[in-house]
Each structure stands twice: as structure tokens, then as C-alpha cells.
Amino acid sequence: MGAVPGWLWAALGIALGAQIAVQALRSPPPAAAADLPPAPSAAALKVASVGEPAAAARLAMLYLQAFDLGAGNTLPYRRLDYARLRAWLRAILDTDPQSNYPLFAAARVYAEVDDPARVRVMLDFIHEAYLEAPNRRWAALAHAALIAKHHLKDLPLARRYAADIERLTTDPGVPLWARQMEVFILEDMNELEAAKIMLGGLLESGRLRDPGERRFLKGRLEELERRMSERRRD
Amino acid sequence: MPPTLLLSRSVLLEARRSGLPWLVLGLLAAALGLAAFLSQVAVTEGRELQAAFAAALLRAGAAFLLAAHVAASVVREANDKVLELALALPLSRSEYYVGKLVGYGAVGVALAAASALPLLLWAEPAAVALWGASLAAELLLVAAASLFFAVTLANVVPAIAATAGLYLLARAMAAIQLLARGPLAEPTWTQALARGAVDAVALLLPRLDAATRSEWLLYAVPAPREYLGVVGALLLYSTLLCAAGLFDFHRRNL
């Protein structure tokens, strides 16, 4: 160290200080308000994953999330091009068909917007995906049926989804309310009651082990509770 | 001790005394740190995300570190005339080459064990053991490839670049073949030619996409037959690379 001349120490210090100053003065990148780019094909995603489809699919989901969750509210969801969003979710699901992430995001994030047309795009995607693997994907369609009933007020659509769950899901580990989904849909209960039963059923069936998912769903339930109590007060 | 094993031991000692252990520690820290960060952003499948991401990063990182270490070590020995000195001893060229490869393979096994250990945080021990054993076989192949290219090209950067090219192409080849057969592919003669060329290249590559899969950690371990087939294919390709390297090493005028 002693062999290093003093002017070199100074030059190093000044250059480092200048670098930190330039970076500190730079404004942070704006929230991702740009349009969602067109989705890649599943084959292209697989090539890009160089043999790691499970990691690539999940990283692609995090990338997709950056177009909305980063803004901290649900408003930007409505700005997204849902046809492109669906294509992205389709490609990601095809990259790792065993992942539940795209369907969870479709049912719990993207389908919970106020725009019925966009909600229908997501519900249709969930239904299409469910038909490919009913025993693995019934939970997303069960939530889609509740959205069809309570948000879209489209009882025939909700009953169609419920009937498909009853007809095609054969896994004995599926909770009773899901195996009798049509009755569950037709019962005269409000959205909060239905959501509570569904969450309880998911916990009981052992499907809800991820702490992040549990936290997210609990947050959604509390938000629903708050919304409904506000509605009752009004 | 037979000369081959003595040579292998010296390779292990060299790896232990080089910067490799520190780089491996850095890789482990990066994988754990990034996986923890990403799991905070994910709304679901946090455990799966951490396991898949860490496994992918550790696998690629271990392969790169080993390839770079082998290429640098072999080229340095050649430049320092250690190779000439070793060959002046009562040691055949085959013994020298195989001794080196066994040593680098052992370094690969140690790297695979270090990479597999953190995955126990998110996956079942049996799945991690299978993943780690497959990575060890994969790293033996990487060591054989890097040794082959370093001996043949006698230069660090071209040797690493060639090894990385072979490795990445082998990992992506199955997906490239799928792409070539996609529904949008037109039935023209140029398309048929391109598909044939892709298939021909695939014949010369190992099936790295089928090895060390993170799906084993997330969903289910492979059937024994499938697993043995995959690891057996890696060992076969390592033997091919070793034979090719020996062929080139014997014909060279040193």
C-alpha cells in the first residue's frame, strides 16, 4: 500500500466520489407505465431459459408483475393490454406447466379489476388452462367462478365453471365445497362468506403452504371485509 | 501412489490454494441473497422461486467457474513449461491427461456438493442428492470439455469461449429443435434443410437440458431408469471428450 503514490489515492477517491454523486443525482427510473411488449412464444422462452424452464417461468412472472404491482395500486392493471397479458401468461404457463403462478396471478390479481371485458379475458384464460389439467388447476377456476358470480353478476358463467369443476376434477384431496361447487355457487351467501369458506378450504386441503401466498390472500380478505363494511355503512 | 492419482492430488491442491474456494463462496452468497430478494417480490410460490432460481444460478455459476479454472490452469502450465517437465518424467501422455481430468473431475464433485448444500433449505434431501449427483456428472463433462479446448487451443479466452458455447448450445438444443418443428414452420425445402442441420448438430451434443433439472427439486424426482439414462449419457460424452482430447494430445509435437 505504501508504494502507491499519494496522487493515485486522490485520483481514486475523486473518481469514486464522482461516480457516487452522478448515480445519486440520477432520478430513479419511472414506474413501468409503458405498454406491455408483445409476448414471446413459449418455444422462444424455453430457448432463452437454456434448460431452466422452471426458473425462467417464475422470473418472467416477476417481470410481468413489474408492469403493475410496482405502481402500488390496482389502477394500472386497467391500463394493461389484456390480450397481450393473456398471451404472456399463456407462454409462461406453457414454459412450466406445473407452475401455479400464472393462474394465481390471473385469478387473484388481473381478474380483480373493475372492467368486465378484461375480467372475462382472464376468466376465459383460467378456464382454458383448467381444462388442460383439472386436478392441478381447480383452485383458480373455483375463484374464477366466484368472480363471475359476484363481480360480473353472470350466474350462468359461474355455474358453467362450477359444473366443470364438479365434472372434471377427480382428485380426492379436493375440499367438499369445491366438489359441490354448483351448490356452493347457488347458495345465497355474500362474497365475503364465500371467500372465507374458500380460503379455509384451501388451508385445510394443504394447498396453501406458501407464506407469501397466505399473506397475500389474507390481505385480500381484509380488504374485502373493509369494502363490505363500508358498503353496509353507506 | 500411482502417478495418475499423484497428478490428480496436485490438481486438487492447486484448486484449494487458488482463488476458487473464495469464488465459490461468493457464488453461494449471491445465489442465496438474490433468491431471498426475489422471494420478497413474488406473490406466490416463494419457495419454488427461490429453489429454481438458486439452482439455475448455482448450476451455471459452478460450470463457468470450473471451465475458467481448468482453462487457466492448463494454459498456465503450458506457458510455464511445466507440461514439458511432466512429460520428461516416466509418465505417459495418457496418464498425464487422465490424471489431470480425474483431478478436475474431483474439483467438480466438490463444487457440486457445495452447490447442492444450500438447496436443502427449499427441497427434499433425496431430490437435492439426485440433483447434486447429476451436477457432479455435468461438471465432469464441463471439465473434460474445458481440458480438451485448453489443450487444443492453448489459449485461455478461446478455450473458455468454446466450452461456454458447447455448454449453452447443449442446454438449449432441445428447445431449438422444438422451435424448428413449430407449427408456424413452413414446409419449404430451406426449412427442411435448416431442421436437418439442427438435428445433425444435436446428434453431436450431450443432452444437458435433461440433466440437473430444477423440476426435480420442485415437483418430483425422476424415475430411476430416466435418471440413470441421463447421468449415463453425461458420462458417455465425458468419455468421448476425453478420447478426443487424448487423440489431439498424442498427435501433437511437444
Share of chain B above pLDDT 70, in %: 98
A75 domain-assigned: yes
Please report which confidence band the pLDDT of residue A34 belongs to, taking 50, 70 and 90 as the band edges. low
Instruction: Show which residues on chain B lie within 8 Å of chain A, measured between beta carbons.
Output: 38-39, 41-49, 52-53, 55-56, 59-60, 168, 171-172, 174-176, 178-179, 182, 208-209, 213-215, 218-219
Q: Which residue of B has its CA nearest to A43?
A: B179
Say if residue B149 is exposed, middle or buried (CB neighbours under 10 Å; 0-12, 13-18, 19+). Answer: buried
Other C-beta atoms lying within 10 Å of the C-beta of residue A58: 31
Q: Tell me A133's DSSP state.
A: -
Q: Is residue A201 part of a domain?
A: no
Chain B residues within an 8 Å CB radius of A99: 45, 48
Min distance A7 CA to chain B CA atoms (Å): 31
Of A44-53, B16-25, B65-74, which gets the smallest average pLDDT? A44-53
**Does the beta-carbon distance from B52 to A54 stay under 8 Å?**
yes
Which range of A157-161, A191-195, B127-131 scores highest in mean pLDDT? It is: B127-131
CA of A214 vs chain B CAs: smallest distance (Å)? 8
A208 is a domain residue: no
Phi, psi angles (nearest 5°) of residue B70? -65, -50
Optimal mutation site among B34, B40, B49, B208, interface A, most CBs of chain A within 10 A? B49
Question: Whole-angstrom Cα distance, residue A228 to residue A153?
Answer: 16
Q: How far apart are CA A168 and CA B243, in angstroms?
A: 54
Instruction: In whole angstroms, give the CA distance from residue A99 to residue A92.
Output: 9
- Averaged pLDDT, A196-212: 67
Q: What mean pLDDT comes out for the span A97-108?
A: 91
Residues of B in contact with A46 (CB under 8 A): 175, 178
SS3 B158: helix
A38 domain-assigned? yes
Query: Which of A210, A216, A218 to probe the B interface (max B CBs under 10 A)?
Result: A210
Burial class (CB in 10 A: 0-12, 13-18, 19+), A214: middle
pLDDT of residue A48: 86
Q: What is the CA radius of gyration of chain B?
A: 20
pLDDT of residue A205: 62
Rounded Cα–Cα distance for residues B123 and A68 (Å) = 31
What does the pLDDT average to over B136-161?
A: 95
- pLDDT value at residue A70: 47
Mean pLDDT of chain A: 81
Quick check: A216 and B44 CB within 8 A?
Answer: yes
A-chain residues near B47 (CB < 8 A): 209-210
Condensed to tens digits (0 to 9), the pLDDT of residues A122-139 reads 999 999 999 999 988 988
Q: Is residue A206 part of a domain?
A: no
Cβ neighbours of B194 (radius 10 Å):
13
Torsion of CA B48, B52, B58, B59, to 10 degrees: 140
Q: Which helix (H) or strand (E) holds B28?
A: helix B20-41
Assess contact for B185 and B191: CB atoms under 8 A.
yes
- The whole-number pLDDT of residue A73 equals 45
Provide mean pLDDT across the span B140-155. Answer: 95
Q: What total number of domains does chain A contain? A: 1
pLDDT at A78: 67
Average pLDDT over residues B12-29: 94
Find the CB nearest A216 among B43, B209, B219: B43
**pLDDT over 60 (residue B105):** yes
Cell of B178: 422444438
Q: What's the rounded Cα separation, in Å, for the pair B126 and B216? A: 10
d(CA A81, CA A61): 16
Rounded CA-CA distance B27/B62 in Å is: 8
Residue A222 lies in a domain: no
pLDDT in tens, B196-228: 898 899 999 999 999 999 999 999 999 999 999
Residue B44 has its nearest CB partner, among A43, A54, A100, at A100
- Residue A188 has a pLDDT of 63
Region A203-218: mean pLDDT is: 68
Residues A48/A20, Cβ–Cβ less than 8 Å: no
Does pLDDT of B172 surpass 70? yes
Work out the mean pLDDT of chain B and round it to a whole number: 91
Q: Of residues B42 and B185, which shows the higher confidence score?
A: B42
Domain that holds residue A59: 30-190
Tell whether the model's pLDDT for residue A114 goes beyond 50.
yes
Contact B179 A216 (CB under 8 A): no
- Mean pLDDT computed over B38-55: 88
Q: Is residue A211 part of a domain?
A: no
> Distance from CA of residue A116 to its chain's centroid?
17
- CB-CB under 8 Å, B175 with A109: no
Where in the sequence is the domain holding B125, given as residue range(s)? Answer: 3-251
Q: How many domains does chain B have?
A: 1
Question: Is the confidence at residue B69, as pLDDT, over 50?
Answer: yes
**Which is more confidently placed, A171 or B131?**
B131
